[in-house]
Structure 1
Amino acid sequence: MRGLRTVREWWADLTDLVLPAECGGCGSAREVLCPRCRTALSGDPPCRVRPDPEPPGLPAVHAAAPYADEVRAALLAHKERGVLALAAPLGAALAGAVRAGLREAWTATGGAGAPDGGGIRRVRGPVLLVPVPSARGAVRTRGHDPARRIALVAAGELRRTGVPARVSA
């Protein structure tokens, strides 16, 4: 039986290299982001957020989800533990927040407002995503720039849905 246990352990180690070992949000087994954590990240529509007090002239800011619990854990797993597979759901959530901001801006300027009604697609020029740059030392230590990686995924998601987008250099 010892040989069988060793083969099972070896197989588990091998699958950990190919498949996620645990959910980035809650730690449940074998999913990058389990259904519960995926819902916490993108289950509700993005919402406008405002600091208190709100500085005059602050442009509208939209959040994909509250920075708490599973969402916070997923962001930290991507950022600090290098769970790169989380860039896809995090980038998709960011793209949703960008779409909400574009929709609001279009509505405020008298546009149709709905993305499928042309409101978002009439943006002049590409939407420019500007990720907060990580310090060079942090990028070296982490082996990647998490904010830029998420922004690149978000820009790709926006382009796939007809919104011209790019990430600043």
Structure 2
Amino acid sequence: MWAWDWCQEIVGLVLPVACSGCGEGRVVLCEECRRVLGAGPARRVRPWPEPPGLPPVYAVAEYADRARAVLLAHKERGMLALAVPLGRALALSVRAACGEGRGGPLSLVPVPSARAAVARRGHDPVRRIARAAAGVLRREGMAARVRPVLRQRRGVADQAGLSARQRLANLSGALAVTPGGLAGDEPVLLVDDLVTTGASLTEAARAVRAAGGMPLGAAVVAAMPVRALGCTRR
């Protein structure tokens, strides 16, 4: 663990803080916000328009209100203790995406953050949540492991303000699997913290397929609400 990680966790333990989801109380995450993240069930979500090549995506929450605040606190404010409840939420989505009866080994492949973003934040939020989710799944009897094999092979523009079509074009060909990162026909599940237009997961799936992997689907903590982006749930 990086020195920065230790500092953030020690600060979170020593100094009383308000709930990251609702701002009430003096806890990192209150029971109601934990319920919002972990109540389930995770469901299939579809961005609209749905990008060609996007694997089935499952989410346990809407990216709004409490869930949005918790994800941002973990990602941008370095509230590292939130990786545990977020990992539990992601594990619910993973279960839904690959089926409750799956018992064979499962590789969770996180969508990578840009190096500049990781340096600015001091951590890689998606990889951290993925590791927490894998720990939950292993305790529940699923042979899950995190395989951070995707990397960015070229720079991309800031996605903020881009349309769904522009995001797809911006990310097209941007990711690649590290040489030897995946075994032939290896089943993998893509994981991310949230899905908006689906452009990132579509590009990640393309890169995995190009390397001979088999993306079974994708699991995220949250999806944009219908009113914000046209995502549908079923």
TM-score normalised to the size of structure 1? 0.75
For 1:10-159, what aligned pairs fall within 5 Å after superposition? 17-18=13-14, 20-56=16-52, 58-103=54-99, 115=100, 119-121=101-103, 123=104, 126-159=105-138
Structure 1, residues 113-140: CA drift from partner, whole Å, max 9, x if none?
xx3xxx122x3xx211121211112212
Structure 1 position 53, deviation (Å): 2.9
Query: For the aligned residues, what is the CA RMSD?
Result: 2.0
The AA in structure 2 aligned to 1:97 is S
Structure 1, residues 91-130: CA drift from partner, whole Å, max 9, x if none?
0100110001112xxxxxxxxxxx3xxx122x3xx21112
Contact in 1 for aligned 2:40/2:92 (Cα 8 Å): no
Q: Please state which structure has a larger fraction of its residues in strand.
A: 2
Contact in 2 for aligned 1:19/1:30 (Cα 8 Å): no
Contact in 2 for aligned 1:128/1:168 (Cα 8 Å): yes
- Which ranges in structure 2 are unaligned for 5 or more consecutive residues? 1-9, 149-234
Larger Rg: 1
- Which ranges in structure 1 are unaligned for 5 or more consecutive residues? 1-13, 104-114
* Structure 1 residues 20 and 135: CA distance shift in structure 2, 3 A: farther
Identity rate, percent: 63
Return the alpha-carbon distance in structure 1 between the equivalents of residues 74 and 11 of structure 2.
20
* Structure 1 residues 159 and 52: CA distance shift in structure 2, 3 A: same
More RCO (CA 8 Å, sep 6+) = 2
- Report how many residues are paired: 139
Q: Please state which structure has a larger fraction of its residues in helix.
A: 1
Return the alpha-carbon distance in structure 2 between the equivalents of residues 15 and 30 of structure 1.
14
